Amino acid sequence: MKNIRQVIIIVLSVFLFFSLGFCKKYRCGVCSAEVKPEWKECPRCGSTEFIEVEETEQKEQQKNVSASIIENKVALGINYPGLSFKYVFNKMVSAEIKMQLSEISKVFCLRFNKYFWLSKTSNLFLYTGIESGYVYFKTKDEIVEGDGFVSNIFCGIEKFLFKHFSVWIDIGPNIVYIKDKNYEQIEQSFDFVLNLGFNIYF
Ligand SMILES: [Zn+2]
């Protein structure tokens, strides 16, 4: 399972890197047909004036894009291995309920995020936040059973691929404090945890 997670992280990272605008497009400056930079002239009108798409479309996008892509919206999130449900208030602050269910553990968390624009033209956000919640665990043989608390602060990026669909990835220190029911044993752990997933906004 760990390997699958690593592969997903690498694929997502590469994807985010390229979607930040490192792949540039060109258009004809006269008829605005899509052209390739290596072409000598526009196949439609013969013009040799090519413009980077960013220059022409950036202004239009800036007009349309605002915090409204994220503010006052409800989002259903799918993460590994769970679900979340959040609302983004004004000033780009969100509150979120998060559940993660695996074979041996169940985690219920409250999460608060504050978003910042990284790029308006590519709808890219930086966010930071805090998460805290309850964890319950029980092994299959029921030898180990207990519950406790989990807390996490993190920093990440969220990128909208479409108006209602985004991918996100974040990392931060995570503290887990759990107590075994049968042996009255207390365990504490401190770790860096990487989260990733996607959101569907309504
Ligand atoms: Zn042309």
CATH number reported for the structural domain that contains residue 43 in this entry: 2.20.28
**Cα dihedral 54→60→61→66 (10° resolution):** 150
The last residue of one of the domains, among 42, 64, 86, is 64
Rounded Cα distance between 202 and 136, Å, is 31
82 with 175, same domain?
yes
Q: And the tokens for 190?
A: 């401190």
55 with 72, same domain?
no
Number of CB atoms found within 10 A of residue 97's CB: 15
The last residue of one of the domains, among 64, 79, 105, is 64
Q: What is the pLDDT of residue 17?
A: 67
Q: What is the pLDDT of residue 12?
A: 73
88 with 147, same domain?
yes
CATH of the domain at 95: 2.40.160.20
CA of 60 to the centre of ligand 1 (A): 20
Q: What is the pLDDT of residue 22?
A: 56
151 with 139, same domain?
yes
Q: Write out the residue range of the structural domain in which residue 76 sits.
A: 68-201
Is this prediction's pTM over 0.95? no
77 with 112, same domain?
yes
32 with 116, same domain?
no
73 with 163, same domain?
yes
- Counted domains in the chain: 2
The last residue of one of the domains, among 36, 64, 92, is 64
Q: What is the pLDDT of residue 82?
A: 92
CA of 85 to the centre of ligand 1 (A): 47
Q: What is the pLDDT of residue 51?
A: 87
- How does pLDDT run along the chain (202 residues), one tens digit per residue? 567 777 777 777 777 666 665 567 888 988 988 888 888 899 999 998 888 876 545 555 555 556 678 899 999 999 888 999 999 998 899 999 999 998 889 999 999 999 999 988 888 999 999 999 999 999 888 788 999 999 999 999 999 999 899 999 999 999 999 998 888 888 899 999 999 999 999 9
Q: And the tokens for 24?
A: 């540039």
CA of 46 to the centre of ligand 1 (A): 6
38 with 135, same domain?
no
Residues in the chain: 202
Q: What is the pLDDT of residue 85?
A: 97
42 with 94, same domain?
no
Q: And the tokens for 112?
A: 């608060």
57 with 126, same domain?
no
CA of 24 to the centre of ligand 1 (A): 18
41 with 74, same domain?
no
